[in-house]
Structure 1
Amino acid sequence: MKKEDFYFDLPEKLIAQTPIENREGSRLLILDKETGVIEHRFFSDIIQYLNPGDCLVLNNTRVIPARLYGHREDTKSSVEFLLLRRIDKDKWETLVKPGKKAKPGAIFNFGEGIMKGEILEIKDGGTRVIEFKYKGIFEEILDKLGEMPLPPYIKEKLEDRERYQTVYAKKEGSAAAPTAGLHFTESLLHKIKEKGVNIAYITLHVGLGTFRPVKVDNIEEHTMHSEFYEIDEYTANIINNTKEAGGRIVAVGTTSVRTIESASDEDGRLNSKQGWTNIFIHPGYRFKVVDRLITNFHLPESTLIMLVSALASRENVLQAYEEAVKQGYRFFSFGDAMFIK
C-alpha cells in the first residue's frame, strides 16, 4: 500500500490545543468495524459498549519532562534535547536540535550548571547518546529543569502537567503520553469495574517510534524505532483468561495494541515478558489478541492511522475521519476519541 492511501484533509482549526475541563466529556465516535456504521456519543458513554467479562487494557506509562534546554559549554549556543530512552543510569538516547551543535565530545550545561551532559556518539538516524553528570537524584533534577514534550502541533502552553498524564500513569519513562487513555477518570474506571469488566495494565514507554513520519511511498518499507515494553504474569493471565472465557480484549490506544501483539504467540496466547518492540501494524496484519480499540484521531499518513486501518479497514476508517471532520471533532493528543467495535 502507498503512504498517500492514508491521507485525509484536516482543517487546522480542528487540532485540539488544550485539554477539555472534564476528561470524560470528550466526544466519542463509534465505528462498527464490520459494517462501517457510525454513531456519535460522549466518552462517558463508553461503558455502554463494554460487556461484563471483557478486558480493558491500559498503558500505565508515565511521561517524564523529557524536553531539556542546554547551552554548549564552549560556544554558549542554545540547544534543545528530547530524551527518548534511557540506556542505563545516566546515559540517554536523545533527539537534538540543532544536531550540528551536538558532536561527540561536546559538553552542555543545563540549569546554570546544575547538570552537565557530554555527547558520546551519534547513532543511525541522527539521535545522540548523552551522558549526564550531576549531584543528587536525576528524576528530581529533571522535574525541575525539564518541560513536558508536547507534540509540535500543540502551540498553547500546558497549564497543568497532569493533564498530559493518564489518571493511572505509574511507571516513568515516556517521551509522549498514550493519549487515548487521557479520557478516563477514576470514577469512570470504577464504574467499568463494577460492571464486571476486567482491567489490565501493560507498560510501553512511548518514544520516537510512534511519531516518526513515514517517508517512503511503499509503507511496507517503513521501519519503526524500538520502544521498551513490559507485561507481568498477572496481566498476561487476566488477558488469556478473558479470551478463553469468550470475552473481548479492548485495547486503549495504539501503544496497548502494539504491546499486546508484540508479546503474543501465533496461537493468540499472551506471554509475560519484557523487551523492545518495533512492530509495525498496517492493513494485512492478522490480529492475534486484540478485538476492539479505543483511540484518538491521528495524523494523516501516520503509522497510527495505518494501525487503526488494519483493525477496521482503510475505507471504514477514512470514512469515519471524513465524518469526524464534518462534525467538528477535535483531533490529535488533546482531541476526541473513537471506539472501534
Structure 2
Amino acid sequence: MNVDLFDFALPPERIALRPALPRDAARLLVVDRAGLRDRIVRDLPGELRAGDLLVFNDTRVIPAQLEGRRDAARIGATLHKREGPRRWRAFVRNGRRLVDGATVDFGAGVTATARDRADDGSWALEFAGEEPVELLLERAGRMPLPPYIAARRPADRQDAADYQTMFARAPGAVAAPTAALHFTPDLIAALAAAGIGHETLTLHVGAGTFLPVKAADTADHAMHAEWGRLDATTAARLNAVRAAGGRVIAVGTTSLRLIESATDESGTVQPFEGDTRIFITPGYRFRGIDGLLTNFHLPRSTLFMLVSALMGLERMQAAYTHAVENDYRFYSYGDASLLLP
C-alpha cells in the first residue's frame, strides 16, 4: 500500500510532553461499531464485559541512552537490542567517527568497543568488564525519551517514574509500552471487580519502533526485530478466555504484535520465545486478539498502519480527526483509544 495513505495533519501542540495525573485520568476515545465515544481511562470497566481479558507487556525500560567520547569526538548511543550478555546493537550519533574496534568512553567507568556496523548505520557495542550491563547503564545511562519529546525538553528525574508502567518487571526495553502507562492499582482492582482479568507477556521494545517508514510502499519497509516471550501458562489462559466467549484485549501494540506472532492459523495461541518482525497492515487477518487499547500514533508510522488494519483506514482517519479537533493528547505521554472491531 502507498505509505501516503497513512498520513494526517497533527498540530505540534497536540503532542503530550507529560502524562496525565493521575494516570487513569487520561482521556479515552472508544471506537466500535456504535461509533465514537469520549470517555476517561478510569471508565474502562464499563466499556468492557465480564469475562474479557486485558494483556499487558511487563517489559521494563532501561536507561539506554549514553553520551561518550572516542578521543576528541562526542559519541551518542541509544541501545536498541541485546545481542549477547555484554553486547547491544545501538543507533549511534556521530557514528562516522567510529571504526571497527574503536573504544568509546561513556564515563562513570563504562567503556564499550564498537563492532560490526550494519547497513542501517547501527553498531554493536561490546561493554568491557564483568559487571552486568544493567548496572553499567544505571551509572552512565539516562531514560530514553521518544525523539518527539526529547527534541522539546530534556529527560529528568520525573521521567524515571513516569516512563515505567506499573507492570514493569523484566528489564530490556528502550521504549515504554505506553498504553499501559494509564493503569493504576485502583483501576486494576475496579476491572477485577467487574469480572475483567489481566495477564502479562514480555516484549522488549526497541528503538526501531520510532524509525520512520522511508519506503513509498509498505511492501518495501523492513520491520525491526524485537525479542519477546509468551509462556505456556499465559497461552493457555488466553485460549481459555476465548473458548469461554470472552475477548482478549491487547494493551498496547507491543502486546498485540507478540500475541499475533504466537497465534497459529487456527486461532490458537502457542508458547513463543524469540524475535518477531511482524508488520501488520490493512488486509492482515487478526487471529489472537479481539480488541486493542492503545495511544494515538504518528502519521505514516507502522503503528498507525496497524490500527488501520484492525479498524479500517477510513474509520481510523475519522477517529484521529475527531481526536485532533477535540484536543486529545498524542503519543507516548498522551491519551488512549479503545478499539473494538
Q: Same fold (TM over 0.5)?
A: yes
The unaligned stretches of length 5 or more in structure 1 are none
**C-alpha contact (below 8 Å) 2:146/2:210 kept by paired residues:** no
Q: 1:130 aligns with which of 117, 125, 145?
A: 125
d(CA) in 1 for partners of 2:193, 2:37: 25
TM-superposed CA distance for 1:223, in Å, is 1.5
TM-superposed CA distance for 1:219, in Å, is 1.0
Q: 2:93 aligns with which of 78, 82, 97?
A: 97
One-letter code of the match for 1:90? Answer: R
Alignment correspondent of 1:236: 235
TM-superposed CA distance for 1:166, in Å, is 0.4
SS at 1:262's partner residue?
helix
Alignment correspondent of 1:41: 39
TM-superposed CA distance for 1:235, in Å, is 0.6
TM-superposed CA distance for 1:10, in Å, is 0.4
Q: Which moved more, 1:285-294 or 1:186-195?
A: 186-195
d(CA) in 1 for partners of 2:132, 2:304: 39
What are the within-5 Å matches in structure 2 for residues 313-328 of structure 1? Answer: 313-328=312-327
**C-alpha contact (below 8 Å) 1:30/1:339 kept by paired residues:** yes
d(CA) in 2 for partners of 1:218, 1:303: 12
Q: Which moved more, 1:291-300 or 1:197-206?
A: 197-206
d(CA) in 2 for partners of 1:159, 1:17: 14
Q: 2:112 aligns with which of 114, 117, 125?
A: 117
One-letter code of the match for 1:162? Answer: A
Alignment correspondent of 2:147: 152
**Runs of 4 or more above 6 Å deviation:** none
TM-superposed CA distance for 1:115, in Å, is 1.4
**C-alpha contact (below 8 Å) 1:198/1:238 kept by paired residues:** no
d(CA) in 1 for partners of 2:132, 2:275: 26
TM-superposed CA distance for 1:135, in Å, is 5.2
One-letter code of the match for 2:193? Answer: E
Identity %: 43
SS at 1:70's partner residue?
strand
**C-alpha contact (below 8 Å) 1:59/1:178 kept by paired residues:** yes
The unaligned stretches of length 5 or more in structure 2 are none
Does 2:78 correspond to 1:79? no
| TM-score, with structure 2 as normaliser | 0.96
TM-superposed CA distance for 1:241, in Å, is 0.2
d(CA) in 1 for partners of 2:92, 2:106: 14
Alignment correspondent of 1:251: 250
Provide the aligned length of Structure 1 versus Structure 2: 336
Does 2:22 correspond to 1:22? yes
What are the within-5 Å matches in structure 2 for residues 212-227 of structure 1? Answer: 212-227=211-226
Q: Cα RMSD (Å) of the superposition?
A: 1.2
One-letter code of the match for 1:255? Answer: T
Alignment correspondent of 2:285: 286
